[in-house]
Amino acid sequence: MAKDTASATQKQSFEEFCHQAFDPTKEFSKPEALKGVRVLSCTQYILGPSCASYLAELGAEVIKIEAPRRGEAMRHTTPFNEPFLYPLSRWVPERGTGLGFLGANPNEYFISVDFHRPEGQAIVKKLAAKSDVMVENYRPGTFDRWGIGYRQMKEINPRLVYCWLGGFGGWGPGRVRASYDILGQSQGGNFGMTGKQEFLGGAPSKHTIWLADYWGGMMGAVQILAALYWRDKVSGEGTFTEYSQVHGVTRQLEYALPLYGRHGITRQRWGNWDTQLCVHGIIKCGKSSYPGSENPQESEEGYILISAYTDEDFARLCKVVGDVKMAEKYAKTENRVKAQSQMEIYPWLEKWAADKTKEQVAEIMDKANINNQPVWNAKEVANHPHWVQRGAVRWLDDPTFGELLHQGPAYKMSATPPRLKWALKPVGADNELILGKLAGLSTEELRRLEEQECI
Partner 1 sequence: MDTPKVPSWPAIPIAKPEEVYAGLSDQAKDYPLYLESITRQEKNFEKPEALALLRVLDCTTSMMIGHWCSSQLSELGAEVIQVEPPGGDPLRKLTPFGRKEYMFKDKESGEEVGGQFLHEMRNKLSVTLNLETEEGREILKKLVVHSDVVIENGTPGQWDAWGIGYRQLREINPRLIYCWVGQRGQWGPLKDKPGMLEPTAQAACGFVHGTGDPKEFGGQPTRSALWMADHVGGTSAAMGILAAVLYRNNVSGEGQFIEATSAEAIIRILDYSWAWYSMDGSIRPRYGNWDLAINIYAVNPCKDGYMMVGGGHDRLWYRIWRTVGDEQPAVEEDILGDLHLRDVTERLAHDMQVKTYTMLGEWLKDNPRSEAERKLSKQQVASGGVLYVNEVAEYPHFKYRGHVAECDSPHYGKILYGTTPFLQHKTPGRLKWLGRPVGYDNEDVYRRLLGFNRDDFARLSQTGVTHEEEEEEEL
Using CB under 8 A, which residues numbered 3 to 62 contact partner 1? Answer: 9-10, 14-15, 17-19, 21-22, 31, 33-35, 46, 50, 54, 58
Number of residues that bind partner 1 (CB under 8 A): 185
Distance, CA of 382 to CA of 388 (rounded, Å): 7
Q: Which of residues 122-141 bind partner 1 (CB under 8 A)?
A: 140-141
Distance from C-alpha of 105 to C-alpha of 53, rounded to nearest angstrom? 5
Q: Of 108-116, 218-226, 319-327, 441-449, which part binds partner 1 (CB under 8 A)?
A: 218-226
CB nearer to partner 1: pick between 110 and 309: 309
Contact 200, 280 (CB under 8 A): no
162: left (phi over 0), alpha (psi -120 to 50) or beta: beta
Among 40, 52, 67, 269, the residue binding partner 1 under the rule CB under 8 A is 269
Which window, 115-123, 316-324, 404-412, 444-452, contacts partner 1 (CB under 8 A)?
Answer: 404-412
Minimal distance in Å, beta carbon 122 to partner 1? 22
How far apart, in whole angstroms, are the C-alpha atoms of residue 57 and residue 107? 7
**Kind plus residue range of the DSSP H or E element containing 298:** helix 296-299
Of 73 and 327, which CB lies nearer to partner 1 in the complex structure? 73
Q: Which of 147, 271, 286, 436: binder of partner 1 (CB under 8 A)?
A: 271
Rg, C-alpha atoms of the chain = 26
Torsion sign across C-alpha atoms 242, 246, 252, 258: negative
Element (H, E) at 338: none
Among 69, 130, 159, 207, binds partner 1 (CB under 8 A): 207
Question: Binding to partner 1 by residue 173, rule CB under 8 A?
Answer: yes
Q: Please report how close the Cβ of residue 316 comes to partner 1 at its closest, in angstroms.
A: 13
In the 8-state DSSP scheme, what is residue 45?
T
Single-letter amino acid, residue 3? K
**Is residue 415 part of the contact set for partner 1 (CB under 8 A)?**
yes
Given a contact cutoff of 8 angstroms between Cβ atoms, the answer to whether 109 and 434 are in contact is yes
Look up residue 363 and give its amino acid: E
342 within 8 A of 278, measured Cβ to Cβ? yes
Pick from 109, 210, 330, 352: which binds partner 1 (CB under 8 A)? 210
For β-strands 133-136 and 161-166, DSSP reports them as parallel
Between 122 and 209, CB nearer to partner 1: 209
Contacts to partner 1 from residues 420-449, by CB under 8 A: 423
Contact status: 292 vs partner 1 (CB under 8 A): no
Q: Which stretch in 110-118, 121-129, 369-377, 434-442 sits in contact with partner 1 by CB under 8 A?
A: 369-377
Q: How far apart are CA 121 and CA 124, in angstroms?
A: 5
Q: What would the x/- binding string for partner 1 be over residues 329 to 368, using CB under 8 A?
A: ----xx--xxx--------------------------x--
